[in-house]
Amino acid sequence: MIRLVVSNLSASLGGNTVLRDIAISVSPGEFVGLIGPNGAGKSTLLRACLGLIPSSGEILLAGRDLRQMAAPELARHVAYVAQDRDIAWPITVEALVDLGRQPHRGAFARPAAADREAVEAALQRMDIVKLRSRRATDLSGGEKARVLIARALAQEADLLLADEPVAGLDPAHQIALMQVFRALAQQGTSVVASMHDLGLAARWCDRLVLLEGGHIVADGPPATVLTADLLRRVYGIEAYVAEAAGGLIVQPTRLAQTGIEQETSRDSTV
């Protein structure tokens, strides 16, 4: 069964229409990259899929209407990594990751073996075992990001929505995170992650969804979405696109030359 089906989705924030007629579906085992320029509606789409903002249209999760689901039930199906990495209190990394187990526990239940295993697995996956006793607020930005992703992994939902999870990670941890998402997808979890790094998106995602101005302009395998033509049109950039080292390589090189820009940049670049 298709895990997430969105159709006719529209949403507005503060009177501005941010999403228009979005249709997208995500199957089990897919790792989908959500790309598009700033303000294209990537975060809004993810938040709408969680029911965090009001929207119109249809959102089906595991065949059921998302808006009819109670919050705790929803949390067992979808986990979310927010873009915002604000941690209010200096709790330990382990306690923070354990928060991901809340939807699986009764109100006053003590952690069960399954909870401990899930937390342990998440700590290992995100390479933060050594940080477990540290105060989460004392960590660096990239470390915080990994801890917060581990929290979502511990939730063990079958759909993971991550809003710019690679931002602020060093190259090794960026690749490691992509591998984690790939491994999750291979185990049947669906992952949807918004990202700005087209190189990572090209190399690691099964499918890319390109948003522009609140609607989808392309949806398909990386090779069909990341074409020089589309990148020029949507992002206004020229990019080097090639096949190398067993995968697609996309490297933005410069701004696309149009109109006035052409005149001004010709002097500086050439």
Partner 1 sequence: MMTETARYRLLIVLLSIVVAILFVLSLTVGPADVGPWQGIAGLFTGDDSLIGLVMREIRLPRALLGLMIGATLGLSGAALQGYLRNPLAEPGLIGVSASASLGAVIAIYTGLSALLPLALPLMALAGALCAVLVVRLMAGADARPLSVILAGVAVSTFAGAMTSLALNLSPNPFAALEIMFWMLGSLTDRSMTHVWLSAPFMLVGWLMLASLGRALDALTLGHETAASMGVDMNRVQRLAVIGTAASVGAATAVAGAIGFVGLVVPHLLRPLVGARPSRLLFASALGGAALLLAADILVRVVAPGRDLKLGVLTAVVGAPFFLVLVMRARRQMA
Q: Which is nearer to partner 1, 192 or 231 (CB)?
A: 192
Smallest separation (angstroms) from partner 1 to the CB of 115: 11
Instruction: Please give the single-letter amino acid code of residue 100.
Output: G
Query: In the bound complex, what is the minimum distance in angstroms from residue 107's beta carbon to partner 1?
Result: 7
Which residue, 199, 170, 218, 182, is CA-closest to 40?
218
**The pair of three-digit structure tokens given for residue 35, joined into one six-digit string:** 């790309």
Task: Name residue 153's amino acid.
Answer: L
By CB under 8 A, name the one of 91, 175, 230, 237 that touches partner 1: 91
155 binds partner 1 (CB under 8 A): yes
Cα distances (angstroms) measured from residue 79 to each of 99, 139, 243, 250: 12, 23, 34, 29
Is 92 among the residues that bind partner 1 (CB under 8 A)?
yes
> Please, which residue, 67 or 254, has the CB nearer to partner 1?
67
Per-residue contact string for residues 101-140; x = within reach of partner 1 by CB under 8 A = -xx---x---------------------------x-----
* Count of Cβ atoms closer than 10 Å to residue 44 Cβ: 22
Binder to partner 1 among 86, 229, 243, 267 (CB under 8 A)? 86
- Give whole-number Cα distances, 143 to 94, 151, 218, 233, in Å: 13, 12, 33, 35
What is the identity of the amino acid at 61?
Answer: L
78 touches partner 1 (CB under 8 A): yes
Q: Does 47 bind partner 1 (CB under 8 A)?
A: yes
Interface with partner 1 (CB under 8 A), residue from 21, 73, 117, 261: 73
The side-by-side arrangement of strands in the sheet containing 4-13 is 16-26, 4-13, 56-61, 64-65
